[in-house]
Structure 1
Amino acid sequence: MNTARTLAGISLAGIVGITVLAPATAHAATGPDAQETRSAQAAAPAKWGPHHAPGRRARASGSLTATPKDDPGAPAPRVTVTGSVTDLTRGPACGWAVFRVSVKETGGDVSLKHRSYRTCSYGKPVKFSFTHAGVYEVELKVCAEARASKPSVGCLYAGTWKPLYTYYA
């Protein structure tokens, strides 16, 4: 019986505490700049990196901006990734930043899109930027390998991807 009284007292105190705090919170959320403030906070770029290729032969870093959403179970309406990749090999190799983006298709299916950026000039970063709509996840892999028009199978499928954005986080 004492336990029931204690729990009832805690519940009542919690309700009173919420009631006392609610007017201040409601006023702060309904001010003239409230919507702009919430949007600016939610859409602020999140820094990522630096991430390195094995042996620190390439480096990538940047920022990611996801538009705000009401439902945490829904994909982000739009995600923008910006950054740079730098080759650190001093040889005939290139530095790659490879992104794997999970996007919602019009029929409700999920597909994987790849974006890759390379530089073959030692120490000179190459900047990149891309945007996708309906994003569930953005992952990154940094590789250093021989000059080619696209990343190798080893770069794409060996090792682990580094998550930069997940829709439910």
Structure 2
Amino acid sequence: MTITRTLAGLALATVLVSITPAVAHAATGLPGQATTDAAATASWGAYYAPGRGAKALGSLRVTGEDHEDIPAAATARISGKVYDLTRKSSTCGLAVFRITYRTSGGNLPFKHHTVRDCSYGTPKSFAFSYRNVYEVELKVCSESGKSSKPSNTCLYAGAWKVIYLSK
């Protein structure tokens, strides 16, 4: 029985690896995609919070990738909408972005950018930009309370969705 579960898990992992989000492919510049001189624009989402209490979708535009630098750095403009799908006034939908950027010393630290919507039926639009971007990841959460930061459960439970990775 353990072998069957292991084989089933491996088969599922193989399928998941082969079904990579089209957005990540479009933004990473696989063959046939935009070059360093052109801007790459791709849609991402819809991504849902566990339990489908929130949803986020949008687009990402990348300009200025410099492939002489390792890793490449670019300016990313991220826009979209966050939806609170719960009817509770005490619950909010969050789109948490983890932006990994390149410093002048060549390090790759990250910062979080959170967009919160606490109004059922009225999505919150957002748009922001970051420079020297190496990778953009997203996690969608639905949480009680209106604190200024996402909870540790939101940040550390589950997997981040890669919506951009510099090539």
- Smaller-chain TM-score bracket: 0.7 to 0.9
Task: Quote the offset at 1:39 in angstroms.
Answer: 7.8
Instruction: Please give the secondary structure, in 2, of the residue aligned with 1:142.
Output: strand
Mark the CA change 1:152 to 1:78 in structure 2 (over 3 Å): closer, same or farther.
Answer: same
| Equivalent position to 2:46, from 46, 50, 66 | 50
Instruction: Please give the secondary structure, in 1, of the residue aligned with 2:59.
Output: strand
| Equivalent position to 2:61, from 61, 65, 72 | 65
Runs of 4 or more above 4 Å deviation: 37-40
Query: What TM-score does the superposition give when structure 1 sets the normalisation length?
Result: 0.72
Q: What percentage of aligned pairs have identical amino acids?
A: 49
* Partner Cα separation in structure 2 for residue 47 and residue 122 of structure 1: 24
Q: Structure 1: 5+ residue runs without aligned partners?
A: 1-36
Mark the CA change 1:167 to 1:38 in structure 2 (over 3 Å): closer, same or farther.
Answer: closer
Query: What TM-score does the superposition give when structure 2 sets the normalisation length?
Result: 0.72
Aligned residues: 131
Question: Could you say which structure has the larger radius of gyration?
Answer: 1
Give the number of the structure with larger relative contact order, counting CA–CA contacts within 8 Å between residues 6 or more apart: 2
Report the counterpart of residue 74 of structure 1 in structure 2. 71
Query: Do the aligned residues in 2 keep the contact of 1:96 with 1:119 (CA within 8 Å)?
Result: yes
Mark the CA change 1:167 to 1:44 in structure 2 (over 3 Å): closer, same or farther.
Answer: closer
Residue type at the aligned position of 1:48: W
Q: Structure 2: 5+ residue runs without aligned partners?
A: 1-33
Report the counterpart of residue 163 of structure 1 in structure 2. 162
Task: Quote the offset at 1:70 in angstroms.
Answer: 4.9
* Partner Cα separation in structure 2 for residue 69 and residue 117 of structure 1: 26
Tell me the C-alpha RMSD between the 2 structures.
Answer: 2.0
Task: Quote the offset at 1:105 in angstroms.
Answer: 1.1
Q: Residues 74-118 of structure 1: CA distance to partner in whole angstroms, max 9, x if unpaired?
A: 323211111110100111200000000110112221111100010
Query: Do the aligned residues in 2 keep the contact of 1:66 with 1:76 (CA within 8 Å)?
Result: no
* Partner Cα separation in structure 2 for residue 106 and residue 69 of structure 1: 15
| Equivalent position to 1:89, from 86, 89, 93 | 86
Residue type at the aligned position of 1:120: C
- Structure with the larger helix share: 1
